[in-house]
């Protein structure tokens, strides 16, 4: 019997549906047992989010400071053949529950020497979050063998408005003139092909999984226009996170005041610097074509586009 562990946390429920789509072929396969570990923060995060409450967790998320979780409903001594780590992206970082799980003794025991598939459902920017997860997995002795990413269907520009409205109202389409936020349902259903490929590999033999299973299936798509923006954004987020963290704990007035300043700064950045940067990158793209292709290939690994 081959065993698969699926570790996941979903704020909106969308990632849970993606997990079910991917895992359906695994669950339907004789000879494969699938265990699900749904992470639960000791202090639940609200949904929809209060506006300022969402930003209060910004420093801890970016700096990857673990937060308490409820006891993990999993046998950390069980030997798994594959672990699927499904996560959302918060502030260009893995969500706090996933960060917190990766810091637990149970994760250290479960992941040591094991093949891991990361499964991401997010707005559109995931490169820096995945880099952080890759570093943690390497520290824990795990082997990243595949990565699957599904992003919002409404596009980069529209999602600047649609996704925050979803977070703050709890509705994917709160207004008729705003595109529906989230992953396209057809694309989500089609993600079952990844589970089918994993099932085929698991049942092919009893050998350890040591190479990608999802190449040629379109597991990821790297938007080269966002690579530089993510790198710059991540550096800015890290700097501001250290500053805001130094102001006081999450609910302190000093952090609240600092967040107001940061939010104003962020809005000005999005309205002014981001469009100018995008235009410059488009104009200069021919000069850096080879470099951009190398970066795309790197970030697309290990599954490839």
What are the residue ranges spanned by the domains of the chain? 2-225
DSSP 8-class letter at 287: G
pLDDT digits (tens, 9 = 90+) for 218-228: 999 998 888 88
**pLDDT in the model for residue 274:** 67
Homologous superfamily in CATH for domain 2-225 = Flavodoxin domain (3.40.50.360)
Cα-to-chain-centroid distance, residue 292: 22
pLDDT digits (tens, 9 = 90+) for 52-72: 889 999 999 999 999 999 999
pLDDT digits (tens, 9 = 90+) for 90-124: 999 999 999 999 999 999 999 999 999 999 999 98
pLDDT digits (tens, 9 = 90+) for 21-46: 999 999 999 999 999 999 999 999 99
Matching residue, tokens 């072929």: 25
Decide if pLDDT at 18 tops 90. yes
**CA distance readout (Å), 244 to 58, 120, 137:** 9, 27, 27
Q: Residue 284 — pLDDT band, cuts 50, 70, 90?
A: confident
Cβ-count burial of 105 within 10 angstroms (0-12 exposed, 13-18 middle, 19+ buried)?
exposed
Three-state secondary structure string covering 186-249:
HHHHHCHHHHHHHHHHHHHCCCCCCCCCCCCCCCCCCCHHHHHHHHHHHHHHHHHHHHHHHHCC
Decide if pLDDT at 174 tops 80. yes
Decide if pLDDT at 299 tops 70. yes
């Amino acid at each position: 019997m081959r065993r698969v562990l699926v570790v996941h946390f979903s704020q909106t429920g969308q990632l849970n549906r993606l997990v079910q789509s991917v895992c359906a072929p695994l669950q339907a396969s004789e000879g494969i047992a699938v265990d699900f570990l749904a992470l639960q923060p000791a202090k639940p995060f609200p949904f929809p989010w209060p506006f300022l409450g969402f930003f209060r967790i910004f420093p801890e998320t970016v700096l990857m400071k673990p937060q308490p979780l409820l006891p993990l409903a999993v046998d950390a001594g069980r030997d798994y053949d594959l672990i699927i780590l499904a996560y959302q992206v918060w502030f260009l970082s893995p969500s706090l529950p996933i960060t917190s799980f990766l810091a637990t003794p149970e994760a250290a025991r479960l992941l040591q020497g094991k093949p891991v598939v990361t499964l991401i459902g997010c707005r559109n920017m995931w490169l820096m979050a995945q880099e952080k997860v890759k570093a943690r997995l390497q520290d824990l002795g795990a082997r990243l063998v595949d990565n699957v990413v599904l992003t919002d269907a409404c596009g980069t520009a529209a999602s600047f408005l649609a996704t925050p409205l979803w977070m703050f109202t709890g509705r994917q389409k709160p207004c008729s003139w705003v595109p529906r936020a989230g992953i396209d349902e057809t694309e989500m259903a089609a993600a079952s092909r990844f589970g089918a490929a994993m099932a085929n590999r698991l049942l092919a033999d009893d050998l350890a999984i040591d190479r990608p299973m999802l190449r040629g299936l379109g597991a990821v798509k790297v938007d080269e226009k966002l690579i530089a923006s993510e790198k710059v954004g991540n550096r800015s987020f890290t700097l501001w996170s250290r500053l805001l963290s130094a102001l006081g704990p999450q609910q302190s007035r000093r952090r609240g005041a600092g967040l107001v300043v940061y939010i104003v700064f962020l809005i000005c950045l999005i309205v002014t610097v981001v469009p100018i940067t995008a235009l410059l990158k488009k104009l200069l793209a021919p000069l850096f074509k080879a470099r951009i292709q190398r970066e795309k290939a790197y970030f697309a690994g290990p599954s490839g586009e």
